[in-house]
Chain A
Amino acid sequence: MFFEIFIAVLLGIIAGIITGLLPGIHINLVATTLLSSSAFFLGFASAIALVCFLVSMSIVHTFLDMIPSIFLGVPDDTALSVLPGHSMLLDGRGYEAIKLTAMGSFFALFIIILISPLYVLFLPSYYEYFVEYIAPILIVISLFLILSEGRGKKILAFLLFILAGVLGIATLNFTLIKQPLFPLLTGLFGTPLLIMSILHKSKIPKQRISSGKKVHKGYFKALAASILSGSLVSFLPGLGAAQGAVVGKSIAGKLGRKSFLILLGAISTITIGLGFVALYAISRPRHGVAVAVGKLLEAFTLNQLMLLLAVMLFSGSIAFLLTLFFARVFAKEIMKVNYRKLSLGIITLLAVLTVIISGFYGLLILITGTSIGLLASFWQIRKMHLMGCLILPVILFFLI
């Protein structure tokens, strides 16, 4: 039993490294594949071992996926809206930026363990009360996020939210499509990033390996804000790390770019980790991997939850070290890799997988989603508005 779980966690760490480092490959893809072939895997592994694999993979993923998102997909013109991670990369401090997000993710492990008892104790009784307000809460948060865009971009952000939302509704109601979330999320969030990295010949300046030793007061503010916003978005449907980061940023008030990176890392790990706790507390999955976990575990017990928390702590701590290692490798070798070819290869792979997983019509979703995702890049509007693809269906679900 222990040995089996240990192996599962180690395999999960390896899977998390792969999904984390390959741009455009999401943990949902692995979760979906595992779930649809669970009959095969359950032949030689227990359900809880498969779940430990998924939890370990998704936590490791949240540490490592900051590496491609900071090192790749840098806008080529000196746009005003350049993200803190990219601006540090352009200063030659990509490694330090990754180190900050990894620190945030590492502290997030303890925040998850801190928040879990509150989730377990209070969510079951208060969630029912919350349900009636989910639609208004989502509307308020979405509007807040749209209005937080700069001048002249609010209308475009609203348009993107609606386009993604309509795509989400059409996709989720398209009963001939298998695994509709795969082409939907890949199209909106995966392929556009890859296409942009092919279109732009972004020159990444020479990187130096340095780590800021000074601990800012802002770091604590960032972590405190991530506790509040992370524990809010983790149990609400349709909201994820990107929304959490913006909500957290406005809770914290002024944050320097370093503190923002801490916040970003922390929120992404918190939303995934607390998503599993929310599954236990309210029996509702809030992200793709939690869906798979919910289906694998017929009854989710408190002991299993504690095991999963231990798995998160273990794999997360290893992921912290792995992230520093890979960030160092990326910083040194980034110029040598032909990212155009890699990106082209991954796009082809994703298109083939879409046809295999979702069928021919899935390709139509992928292409439509990609076009909408590309519009966000061209207009330089934050990708989080594309989460309208899930938020709008949820709002309608709770309103109707």
Chain B
Amino acid sequence: MQTPLLIKISLTTAIVGLILLIYLSQNLEPKIISISEVNFEMLDNYVKITGTITEVRQTQGLYIFEVGDISGKITATYFKDKIIDKSFEFSIGDEVEILGKVSEYEKEIQIEIVEIRKI
């Protein structure tokens, strides 16, 4: 049985793969694009945008922001249970950078926020 060799191969692949993944996940991020460039073909992809918050609403589990830049505006949602920072607070007029996933809600395109920060 060649198991010891197979174990070595698997362990090496696992560790090399993990190191590569950790490096790549830290260093590869989507480029910043303008809001009008976000389209349905990007559904489920991650994008990064910047803009000004023009409206803030909230539901039981969700913050809903309207964000605009010169090119257009888009709805961005944030699940409250994803919030790590207890001092999470954004208001109208804040300039923000958003990393999020393109999704669809009632035939409208929107962004599910992964990271949002003031700039």
Binding site for B on A (CB under 8 A): 36, 38-39, 163, 166-167, 170-171, 173-176, 178-179, 199, 283-284, 298, 361, 364-365, 367-368, 371-372, 374-375, 378-379, 397, 400
Contacts and interface: CB of A to CB of B under 8 A. Distances in A.
Contacts of B46: 175-176, 178
Interface in B13-30: 13-14, 17-18, 20-22, 24-26, 28-30
B24 A375 contact: no
Given A175-B25, A175-B28, A368-B20, 18 more contacts: A36-B43, A39-B104, A166-B22, A167-B18, A167-B21, A170-B22, A170-B25, A171-B21, A174-B21, A175-B30, A176-B29, A283-B61, A364-B17, A368-B14, A371-B9, A371-B11, A372-B14, A378-B10
Nearest to A167: B18
B71 interface: no
Contact of A176 (B18, B20, B30): B30
A167 B19 CA distance: 9
B11 A375 contact: yes
B81 interface: yes
Contacts of A372: 10, 14
Q: Is the interface of A mostly helix, strand, loop or mixed?
A: helix
B107 to A, nearest CB: 8
A354 to B, nearest CB: 14
7 contacts: A174-B24, A283-B60, A368-B13, A371-B13, A374-B10, A378-B7, A379-B7
A134 B60 CA distance: 21
Interface in B26-59: 26, 28-30, 40, 43-46
Nearest to A237: B81
B14 A163 contact: yes
Contacts of A298: 106
Top 10 A-B residue pairs of the complex, sorted by shortest distance between their CB atoms: A368-B17, A174-B25, A371-B14, A371-B13, A175-B46, A170-B21, A371-B10, A374-B10, A170-B22, A372-B14
A365 B25 CA distance: 11
Contacts of A361: 24, 28
Contacts of B7: 375, 378-379
Contacts of A365: 17, 21
Contacts of A163: 14, 18
Contacts of B44: 36, 178-179
Contacts of A199: 6
B87 interface: no
B18 A400 contact: no
B116 interface: no
Contacts of B21: 167, 170-171, 174, 364-365, 368
